[in-house]
Amino acid sequence: MPKRTDLHSILIIGAGPIVIGQACEFDYSGTQACKVLREEGYRVILVNSNPATIMTDPEFADRTYIEPITPYFVGKIIERERPDALLPTMGGQTALNTAVALAEDGVLDTYGVELIGAKLEAIKKAENRELFQKTMREIGLETPRGNFVRSVDEAAAFAEKVGFPIIIRPSFTLGGTGGGTVFSAEEYHAKVGHALAASPIHETLVEESVIGWKEFELEVMRDLKDNVVIICSIENVDPMGVHTGDSITVAPAQTLTDKEYQFMRDAAKRIIRAIGVETGGSNIQFAVNPDDGRMLIIEMNPRVSRSSALASKATGFPIAKIAAKLSVGYTLDEIPNDITKKTPASFEPTIDYCVVKIPRWDFEKFKGVDDTLGVQMKSVGEAMAFGRTFKEALQKALRSLEQGRYGLGADGKDEFEIALLDDESKRRWRERVVNRLRQPKADNIFYLRYAIQLGMTVDELFEITKIDRWFLYNVQQIVEMEEELKEYELPSQKYPEGIPSAKIQGSKTFPDME
Amino acid sequence: MKAITRDILLKAKQFGFSDRQLARLWKTDEASIRRLRHERDVLPVFKTVDTCAAEFEANTPYHYSTYEIDSEVTITSRKKVIILGGGPNRIGQGIEFDYCCVHGVFALEEEGYETIMINCNPETVSTDYDQTDKLYFEPLTLEHVLDICEIEKPEGVIVSFGGQTPLKLAKSLEANGVKILGTSPDNIDVAEDRKRFGDLLKKLHVPHPKDGTATSLDEAKTIAASIGYPVLVRPSYVLGGRAMEIVYNPEALVGYMKAAVNVSPDHPILVDKFLEDAKEFDVDAVCDGTDVLIGGVLQHIEEAGIHSGDSACVLMPQAESVQVIEQLKDFTRKLALALDVRGLINVQCAEKNGIVYVLEVNPRASRTVPFVSKAMGVPLAKIAAKVMVGRTLKELGVPLDQAPKQIAVKEPVFPFGKFPKAKVFLGPEMRSTGEVMSIADTFGEAIAKAFIGAGGNLPVRGSVFISVNNNDKNYDLIEVAKGFRLLGFTIVATGGTSAFLKEHNIENTKVFKVNEGTPSVVDFIKRGDIHLLINTPLGEVSRFDELAIGSAALEAKLPIITTISAAAAAVKGIQWIRDQKSGVKSLQEYHLEVSSQ
């Protein structure tokens, strides 16, 4: 199918200011979309209130509106510019919510604006959890048991049915604001109140907790000819209970059996079809029970997301760019892959390396806040690294974070040197480390290392953290390697002349670094 | 002990150990490990991210390092520049720096250079392989950057666009023979070193608030007494205003020194005179060594003491004398030339009683560069990048001092909704995650749109709560209160504020503070009887109220204004909303107006 010629001008909504849960990944997606659609000859109208974005540079759109992203002001822009279509999938939840409001208020109909990328019905099926659960049931897939409640009493009735822990997820909030996992009735009442207040529609999901299950994501794309490709699988090192944005994640998924992975792929295809995303990308989250492999569908984002930015960078497959092309009628087999130029976008990416992403938090700026990680995202940024193995990528990612760490410990920043501890200190440290690991916290990865140095086994650590044993074995191997390295010493402290010096222009010596 | 073999070195690198870690394990320094790797030929190879596991030929140079055989990177013979990105986003270093990096790339492409980006943040435009000639997705550490410099042999590296991250590498890169483009690392050091910077200001006769460096509590007390309270105290070498506080008396100073920091000769405390009630300004400029382009002068809406990243700003300063503005520009020009800046420079100033003080100079990309560029229609980062590779401002033909035609406002956004227990009151430590901009023909429209864009709802009627500290009980407050009354708002105020307003014939209802009785202000908020809060607490006593009022207001999603100047701006914004003159206009149309001037 060639591109649509009935459309001439397209309005793109950006994500607005950087907030926790919605960062510059949407500048990346929006910039790509603007670029591609203009290359295709469309008149691009953009609205975004964030001046620090590349996409709001006047060269990237025909008309750039630095106006508040609210239905009122976007409505004014529509009234003035009369675009043929609105692409709402590039600007995160902000853009999607605004587009839904404009559609429901009749503004889009009044001015004859077509939603492209995701239709209203598909957005609603994906975003409204009741509809989503129903759709999943219809295609034979399971979701966690849950109810939407609009009052504390309704919430209490649900809790009696399923017991604790329960996850609270307020509807239509960014990064899960107002949500959390609760373990007691007391806590539950307070948090449900908070969640209802946070939700713009005064509604929250209360859900059976799958805390401790393994968490996965698939990035999926579909076109008008019903071609579906899986771009990338992402596995969360931290199990369910920690927001994906706050988890260490790895691509591709490492711990699934082939059978489990194939089942997940098939499910993803069924989901994107059932939800009805026809021209674009989606992100689908899965939970897998580590004991029996039972798989649940957690949620789906019918738009470009933080994970799609990650998947694009991890694979080289530009999801936002391709999604923009799909939205104007191209099909996956018609779009060339811009890295190879030979293969079409309908070729699924293959990767022969490992990618690790680690979030970065800024808790020290907010005295008194709870730094335990949960279903509400708290990180303010992230770093990613490539390696041929998980171990290499993990250590590179840790030093990419720029928090003074140069890998998984052994960099002079550790809280203790194992060789210098006596038995009593070891016992006390072990206690501290175990207590620490019982709760997900920002730099628990370093505590896993301490635990292994202190003689804890992978099985013990799995019981405490529910982090898959495969990851724990990798941490163990890094620790063992460190021990092995300690058996070596430099041949001599001084080098004779004639050793190859730096290969940089003009450099004769290696002065002290940093 | 065994002697290190090539095998074990290679294996360590394959396990991802950095030279730093190995140096630590083998009790030597990073440079020696690097030398050892060269000697034993344990050097990284660069693989390609190609979507197809090398099954097809890749046209896009998008690389990562690893320790194997077969490097897949092609080194061209073109003249090239490496641009270092900003790494992971954090509060104080965000998307603004990515914007500058990407603009650097665009500019150098126009100048005929091969552009090479190094960055490790997957969220950014700079790590889009489509934007640069070559992308290395690597950690921004000396080891990884040098590894790339060694194979690429660039003409130079740009470190001043990505924020503190690449800047920190400047000296060690230069020491390893890498050419740093733009302002020299030594001149960057002049701007960052208190002593050298102080000397420079003295030489140029530029006023600077009194300051001192203390290595003990007693010394801190002596310094504070000699320069006079209030003083701004902070540990040396911290970024983003971390652990910075304004203290008003010796007791508070002792409290701060004991609670917040460990002072020692190795960890001195910086003590600065705090210019209370001063107005703050930011000037962004570009210098080529001969000429200085004044990009824009921003006035902070919040007064001195609030981190510049957390303060709302207006471009086209409001109600400011021409002399002050000219003085700001003049100091900026002087400093840029004295530091021999090649590229961007940001100067932070304060004005009190007609005297302009220079607080800080950053010879690098600042947070406000994208905002100023958009407000003025002048791509500062691009111009700066061209200057860095030797072009002059004259050659580029850009006007050196353009007057703004519209009013642009930058309004920060905060994550307080995510952190219910955090203090919502602003201070010298930056806590905003992002910002919005508005541009309009009047200040009222710009303020209103900035507020709305930042997610705050300005009420057009109802009741406004006012509780201010004693310093704020002045003429400005009266004007604000009158403004709200004229707009038909009722005023609810706590004891002292209420009495002060009554003294000046401003009708208001007294309300209890949280610990004074019921119904208290929090009850009013919960009942929905308050629609906007103006609260400027000061000192320890009000801390309890702060938290209670702050979280109640957050829960009710009410706008909280924490400075009188922002409240005055809000009055103008509400007036605009009420007048219903609202329209929208694109940046392209605004810029057309600027250039047709």
Where helices occur in B159-271 by DSSP H, the ranges are 164-175, 185-192, 194-204, 217-227, 250-259
Which residue from A minimizes the CA distance to B99?
A54
- What is the C-alpha separation between A382 and A362, in angstroms, rounded? 11
- What is the C-alpha separation between B566 and B568, in angstroms, rounded? 5
Cα–Cα distance list, B345 to B199, B334, B337 (Å): 19, 12, 10
Which of A165-179, A217-231, B580-594 shows the lowest per-residue confidence on average (mean pLDDT)?
A165-179
CA distance B167 to chain A (A): 12
Nearest to A488 among B1, B418, B455 (CB): B1
Single-letter code of the amino acid located at A495 = Y
Cβ–Cβ gap A485/B139 under 8 Å: no
Which residue from B minimizes the CA distance to A25?
B123
Single-letter code of the amino acid located at A201 = I
Where helices occur in A401-497 by DSSP H, the ranges are 423-438, 444-453, 458-465, 469-485
Strands (E), B37-130: 45-48, 62-66, 80-84, 114-119
Nearest to A50 among B57, B434, B586 (CB): B434
Confirm or reject contact between B71 and chain A (CB < 8 A). Answer: no
Which residue from B minimizes the CA distance to A311?
B122
pLDDT tens readout for residues A405-458: 999 999 999 999 999 999 999 999 999 999 999 999 999 999 999 999 999 999
- What is the C-alpha separation between A348 and B151, in angstroms, rounded? 32
- What is the C-alpha separation between A395 and A400, in angstroms, rounded? 9
Single-letter code of the amino acid located at A123 = I
- What is the C-alpha separation between B326 and A422, in angstroms, rounded? 67
Cβ–Cβ gap B91/A481 under 8 Å: no
Nearest to B433 among A18, A406, A511 (CB): A18
Confirm or reject contact between B69 and chain A (CB < 8 A). Answer: no
Cα–Cα distance list, B358 to A230, B208, B213 (Å): 56, 5, 18
Non-local (6+) Cβ contacts of B177 within 8 A are A502, A504, A505, A506, A507, A508
Residues of A in contact with B139 (CB under 8 A): 383, 385, 396-397, 399-400
Neighbouring-strand partners of residue A382 = A359
- What is the C-alpha separation between A344 and A334, in angstroms, rounded? 7
Cβ–Cβ gap A339/B90 under 8 Å: no
Angle, helices A469-485/A390-400, rounded to nearest 10 degrees: 80
Which residue from A minimizes the CA distance to B58?
A340
pLDDT, greater one: B517 or B28:
B28
The residue among A362, A442, A383 whose CA lies nearest residue B430 is A362
Nearest to A318 among B95, B130, B413 (CB): B130
Dihedral pair phi/psi, residue A395, rounded to 5°: -65, -35
Alpha-carbon B230 to chain mean position = 24
Q: Which of residues 368-407 of B touch A (CB under 8 A)?
A: 370-371, 374-375, 377, 379
Helix (H) or strand (E) holding B300: strand B292-300
Angle, helices A458-465/A423-438, rounded to nearest 10 degrees: 40
pLDDT tens readout for residues B241-284: 567 788 888 988 988 888 766 777 777 888 999 988 788 999 99
- Under a CB-based contact definition with an 8 Å cutoff, are residues B311 and B329 in contact? no
Interface test with chain A among B65, B123, B136, B419, by most A beta carbons within 10 Å: B123
Neighbouring-strand partners of residue A489 = B3
- Under a CB-based contact definition with an 8 Å cutoff, are residues A46 and B588 in contact? no
Sheet holding B560-561, edge to edge: B509-511, B490-494, B463-468, B532-536, B560-561
Torsion-angle region of residue A412: left (phi > 0), alpha (psi -120 to 50) or beta? Answer: left
Please enumerate, as own/partner, the contacts of A343-346 that have beta carbons within 8 Å and a separation of 24 or more.
Answer: A343/B51, A343/B52, A343/B56, A345/A221, A345/A229, A345/A317, A346/A227, A346/A229
Which of A291-295, A505-509, B200-204, B567-571 shows the lowest per-residue confidence on average (mean pLDDT)?
A505-509
Could you tell me the two tokens for B287?
């210098």
- Under a CB-based contact definition with an 8 Å cutoff, are residues B562 and B549 in contact? no
Average pLDDT, chain A: 91
Task: Fill in the DSSP letter of residue A108.
Answer: H
- What is the C-alpha separation between B261 and B267, in angstroms, rounded? 9
Cβ–Cβ gap B25/A493 under 8 Å: no
Task: Fill in the DSSP letter of residue A348.
Answer: P
- What is the C-alpha separation between B301 and B446, in angstroms, rounded? 13
Q: Is the pLDDT of residue A497 over 50?
A: no
pLDDT tens readout for residues B316-328: 887 678 899 999 9
Instruction: Report the percent of chain A where pLDDT is more than 90.
Output: 78
Average pLDDT, chain B: 90
Task: Fill in the DSSP letter of residue B454.
Answer: T
- What is the C-alpha separation between A334 and A347, in angstroms, rounded? 11
Confirm or reject contact between B423 and chain A (CB < 8 A). Answer: yes
Nearest to B15 among A339, A391, A491 (CB): A391
pLDDT, greater one: B566 or A460:
A460
Cβ–Cβ gap B90/A381 under 8 Å: yes
Cα–Cα distance list, B173 to A158, B126, B146, B159, B529 (Å): 61, 21, 7, 10, 60
How many C-beta neighbours within 10 Å does residue B281 have?
Answer: 26
Dihedral pair phi/psi, residue B222, rounded to 5°: -60, -45
Confirm or reject contact between B124 and chain A (CB < 8 A). Answer: yes
Residue A513: per-residue pLDDT: 39
3-state secondary structure A471-497: HHHHHHHHHHHHHHHCCEECCCCCCCC
Which residue do the tokens 């930042």 mark?
A: B454
Average of pLDDT values for B71-95?
A: 94
The model's pTM is 0.92
Q: Is the pLDDT of residue A511 over 60?
A: no
Which residue from A minimizes the CA distance to B21?
A411
Average of pLDDT values for A9-33?
A: 95
Which residue from B minimizes the CA distance to A386?
B64
CA distance B507 to chain A (A): 33
pLDDT confidence tier of residue B330, bands split at 50, 70 and 90: very high
Residue B255: per-residue pLDDT: 85
CA distance B51 to chain A (A): 5
Q: Is the pLDDT of residue A367 over 80?
A: no
Residues of B in contact with A194 (CB under 8 A): 420, 555
Q: How do strand A204-208 and strand A146-149 relate by DSSP bridges?
A: antiparallel
Interface test with chain A among B11, B71, B128, B165, by most A beta carbons within 10 Å: B128
Q: What is the ipTM of this complex?
A: 0.92
Q: Is the pLDDT of residue B543 over 70?
A: no
Counting one residue from chain A and one from chain B, the pairs whose CB atoms sit within 8 A come to: 443
CA distance B576 to chain A (A): 15
Nearest to A67 among B11, B454, B584 (CB): B584
Residue B596: per-residue pLDDT: 56
Cβ–Cβ gap A385/B138 under 8 Å: yes
- Under a CB-based contact definition with an 8 Å cutoff, are residues B158 and B181 in contact? yes
Confirm or reject contact between B323 and chain A (CB < 8 A). Answer: no
Nearest to B57 among A54, A194, A340 (CB): A340
Confirm or reject contact between B94 and chain A (CB < 8 A). Answer: yes
Could you tell me the two tokens for A147?
């109810």
Residues of A in contact with B26 (CB under 8 A): 485, 488-490
Residue B372: per-residue pLDDT: 97
Which residue from A minimizes the CA distance to B409?
A51
Average of pLDDT values for B45-58?
A: 88
- What is the C-alpha separation between B250 and B104, in angstroms, rounded? 48
- What is the C-alpha separation between B449 and B430, in angstroms, rounded? 23
Residues of B in contact with A76 (CB under 8 A): 582-584
Residues of A in contact with B375 (CB under 8 A): 51
- Under a CB-based contact definition with an 8 Å cutoff, are residues B347 and B361 in contact? yes
Which residue do the tokens 């046209």 mark?
A: B59
Which residue do the tokens 């030489």 mark?
A: B203
In total, chain B counts a number of residues equal to 597
CA distance B331 to chain A (A): 26
Confirm or reject contact between B242 and chain A (CB < 8 A). Answer: yes
Confirm or reject contact between B29 and chain A (CB < 8 A). Answer: yes
Could you tell me the two tokens for A44?
């691009």
Cβ–Cβ gap B88/A343 under 8 Å: no
Which of A149-163, A259-273, B115-129 shows the lowest per-residue confidence on average (mean pLDDT)?
A149-163
CA pseudo-torsion sign B144, B147, B150, B152: negative
Alpha-carbon A58 to chain mean position = 29
Alpha-carbon A117 to chain mean position = 20
pLDDT confidence tier of residue B540, bands split at 50, 70 and 90: very low
Neighbouring-strand partners of residue A250 = A235, A356
The residue among B356, B354, B353, B279 whose CA lies nearest residue B311 is B279
Single-letter code of the amino acid located at B547 = L
Nearest to B52 among A68, A350, A384 (CB): A350
Alpha-carbon B455 to chain mean position = 21
Q: B31-70 in b/e burial notation, b at 16+ Cβ within 10 A?
A: bbbbbbbbebebbbebbbbbbbeeebebebbbbbbbbeee
- What is the C-alpha separation between A475 and A497, in angstroms, rounded? 39
Average of pLDDT values for B99-105?
A: 97
- What is the C-alpha separation between A389 and A448, in angstroms, rounded? 19
Residues of B in contact with A388 (CB under 8 A): 14, 47, 66, 68
Sheet holding B62-66, edge to edge: B45-48, B62-66, B134-137, B114-119, B80-84, B156-158
Average of pLDDT values for B228-239?
A: 80
Cβ–Cβ gap A52/B94 under 8 Å: yes
Nearest to A49 among B21, B138, B453 (CB): B453
- What is the C-alpha separation between A305 and A66, in angstroms, rounded? 22
Residues of B in contact with A73 (CB under 8 A): 449, 452, 582, 584
Listing DSSP states for A73-85 in one string gives HHHHHHHHH--SE
Which residue from B minimizes the CA distance to A349?
B51
Single-letter code of the amino acid located at A126 = A
Instruction: Report the percent of chain B where pLDDT is more than 90.
Output: 66
